[in-house]
Structure formats: C-alpha cells, structure tokens
Amino acid sequence: YGDYNQKIDYVFKIVLIGDSAVGKSQLLARFARNEFNLDSKATIGVEFQTKTLIIDNKTVKAQIWDTAGQERYRAVTSAYYRGAVGAMLVYDLTKRQSFDHMARWLEELRGHADKNIVIMLIGNKCDLGSLRAVPIEDAQEFAERENLFFMETSALESTNVETAFMSILKEIYQIVG
C-alpha cells in the first residue's frame, strides 16, 4: 500500500487461453480489480494485469496475460506463452463447443510452453446452471486424463475466482518457489 520499495520475491506469469467470449477477461477483471462488466467488448490492447499477494510469507506478483482478441485457432503467438509458469484453459459451461476445443488449446499450449507449466481447466459461467451444456463429470474426466487441475467458476457472481487463481499460484510456488 503505497510502498514503492515493496520487495517482490517472485513474478509468476500465467496465461489465459480458450475460445472468445468464455469469460477470460472478466475472470481477470474479477481477480485483479474485483470488477465485472456484463457487456465487455472483445479484448484489445491490454496485455496483462498484475496482482501482488503473499504466499508462505513471500511476496508473489502474479502477472496474468489475456489474449488480445487472438482466440482464433493458432493466432496466439509463441511470445504469449513465453516464460509462462501457469495457464488457465477456460471454457464456457453453457457452450459445448468451447469445451470441445479445450483439447486443441491444450495441444497448442503444450507445443509452446515449458513442460513444467501448471495448467488449470476452468468451466466458467457456473451462475448459468440452467443453461449448462457441459456436465461436470465430462470436465473432471478430461482434467484427470490430461493431468489438469479443474474448477468451475463464475466471474459474474465471484464464485471460485479467487480460489482458482490462488490454487494455481500455490501450485506454481510449490514447483518454482
């Protein structure tokens, strides 16, 4: 708080990936600034946001990257993945297609990222339960098979957002810290 000289022990780069409109930018806005926007425009410009927090008495700066409208297949460049120690693979649990695309996002990620990267599968928009198109079991099974952490979230209602980011950061800390 106003301490310019705050010592940062670690900077962890985390990338958000997944189809357009699944809620990546709103998850980030919720986590970094506790904000939410119901008609958010497709992301342009801003590359990443940071949030500094304490894990195990260490100061960790989470640097979270958001695709700048590059969600078309193969449009995300390798610079985006460079140096990432964590990734959140996000789908919209009311859009089956966004879940079916997780396999190819994962393939892209594994092709570009460090092999020790910590990956979390996120089923977002769990506030829209009545419109659910992806059974939780399908996602759990995929996550287990691919060795991913998994959580359902709602950026709108703030459900599990903090928990999801904190658990991936703690996992990264276990590996890197």
Q: Which residues bind ligand GDP (CB under 6 A)?
A: 20-26, 37-40, 42-43, 124-125, 127-128, 154-156
CB of 87 to ligand GDP, least distance (A): 14
Closer by beta carbon to ligand GDP, 60 or else 94: 94
49 contact choice in Mg ion, ligand GDP, none (CB below 5 to 8 Å, kind-dependent): none
23 contact choice in Mg ion, ligand GDP, none (CB below 5 to 8 Å, kind-dependent): ligand GDP
Residue 25 engages Mg ion in binding (rule: CB under 5 A)? yes
Q: Between the CA of residue 121 and those of 51, 75, 88, 132, 157, what are the distances in Å?
A: 21, 20, 6, 16, 19
Q: Which of 30, 43, 153, 159 binds Mg ion (CB under 5 A)?
A: 43
- DSSP state, 11? E
Instruction: Extract the tokens encoding 82.
Output: 């460079």
CB of 128 to ligand GDP, least distance (A): 5
Closer by beta carbon to Mg ion, 55 or else 109: 109
Among 18, 13, 11, smallest CA distance to 43 is for 18
Residue 98 engages Mg ion in binding (rule: CB under 5 A)? no
User: How many Cβ atoms sit within 10 Å of the Cβ of residue 109?
Assistant: 18
Closer by beta carbon to ligand GDP, 13 or else 24: 24
- DSSP state, 159? B
Q: Between the CA of residue 144 and those of 70, 92, 97, 150, 169, what are the distances in Å?
A: 28, 19, 20, 9, 20
CA gap 58, 1 in Å, rounded: 16
CB of 60 to ligand GDP, least distance (A): 24
Residues forming the site for Mg ion (CB under 5 A): 24-25, 43
